[in-house]
Amino acid sequence: MDENWNGILNVYKEAGWTSFDVVAKLRGILKTKKIGHGGTLDPQVTGVLPVAVGKATRLLEYMEATGKIYEGEVTLGFSTETEDAEGEVVALTPVLTKLSENEIDTVMTEFLGKIQQVPPMYSAVKIKGKRLYEYARAGQTIERPAREVTIREFVRTGPIIFDETVKTAKFPFRVACSKGTYVRTLAVDLAEKLGYAGHMSRLVRTAANGLAIDKSLSLADIEQARDENRLSDCFYPMELAVTELSKINLTEDEFLAAKVGKKFDEKFLTELSKISEPRFAAFYQEKLVAVYIKHPVEAGIWKPQKVFYNEQV
């Protein structure tokens, strides 16, 4: 029988685990089927994996849409088929002269803002009903449409390390980016702009959905908390999932309307006209009541996308 756990977990995903593996393990630890993660991490990537449990799973789409922060490493000198350290080498460009820190830093600024990325062949993007990695494993390379992503920060965080024996150069970086960003592709594109074949040689997700790596819990930590009857200490409230949405605090009358799914008109709720985003989170007494979106047809009208009153207040 399922336990009544509701909320968000800040899970530290270890190398070698898929995000699905983590969720499957947590289903057993928590004895619940209602669980999902807020943003996939590749198996070799470690770090923060937000996990929604119970009623919080209705908020997964907002968790997945939040920005992420990563710390990693770029290696110049050779590229791989998977764009990371796991794949077979496909191109060699020996680093014969030392690059300057200023040169690298200047090129990195060219990636800030909205950029176009072509998803790597070894990715889970679906084209014509198949995952790209399925084509790649069959030895096929197909056209992939570019997608727009946003890079809020992309900086070098340490010195350049040259290896004269294997003729490579590597340096650490930090990137803050939007949903859908392939950091390994960013590393490859940076290397290309610097004039080299390259790949992402290491990556850790240090923050996602307002959750930081220094507060994350391993699966062993969560299992121990269960055994010691203190699982409730591991959960964040479900309101955390909407931290990046605009927030409006409702009056009692507005709350009574929102909890039964009524629309709002900007003429009467003037705060709405100040919101530039397509949705907002409606709160009453610090509890999430509903998420509203702009009406697709009626100008100045906002309608509920999801109402949480029955579960929250």
pLDDT digits (tens, 9 = 90+) for 69-80: 999 999 999 999
**How many residues are there in the chain?**
313
249 in the same domain as 192 = no
pLDDT digits (tens, 9 = 90+) for 167-190: 999 999 999 999 889 999 999 999
> Is 16 domain-assigned?
yes
Q: What is the pLDDT of residue 272?
A: 84
230 in the same domain as 298 = no
Which of 244, 242, 263, 256 lies closest to 285 in space, CA to CA? Answer: 256
Q: What is the pLDDT of residue 121?
A: 59
Q: What is the pLDDT of residue 203?
A: 96
Which of 110, 81, 280, 112 lies closest to 185 in space, CA to CA? Answer: 81
**Residue 161: domain span:** 68-208
> Is 31 domain-assigned?
yes
How would residue 234 be classed by pLDDT, with cut points 50, 70 and 90?
Answer: very high
73 in the same domain as 60 = no
Q: What is the pLDDT of residue 1?
A: 36
103 in the same domain as 49 = no
User: Which phi and psi (to 5°) does residue 83 adopt?
Assistant: 70, 5
Based on the residue annotation, tell me whether 227 is a catalytic residue of this protein: no
- Give residue 240's identity as a one-letter amino acid code: L
How would residue 298 be classed by pLDDT, with cut points 50, 70 and 90?
Answer: confident
Which of 181, 182, 183, 164 lies closest to 173 in space, CA to CA? Answer: 183
**Helices 19-30 + 219-227 axis angle, to 10:** 0
> Is 182 domain-assigned?
yes
Token pair belonging to 9 = 């977990």
Catalytic residue, candidates 42, 163, 189, 233: 42
pLDDT digits (tens, 9 = 90+) for 185-198: 999 999 999 999 99
R_g over Cα of the chain: 22
Residue 104 pLDDT > 80: yes
Q: What is the pLDDT of residue 195?
A: 96
Q: What is the pLDDT of residue 312?
A: 46
In percent, how much of the chain has pLDDT > 70?
A: 91
Q: What is the pLDDT of residue 313?
A: 42
- In the predicted model, what is the mean pLDDT of residues 55-78? 92
- Report the alpha-carbon distance of residue 108 to residue 51 in Å, rounded: 32
Q: In CATH, what number is assigned to the domain containing residue 233?
A: 3.30.2350.10
> Is 35 domain-assigned?
yes
How far, CA to CA in Å, does 276 sit from each of 36, 262, 282, 293?
29, 21, 15, 11
- In the predicted model, what is the mean pLDDT of residues 15-37? 93
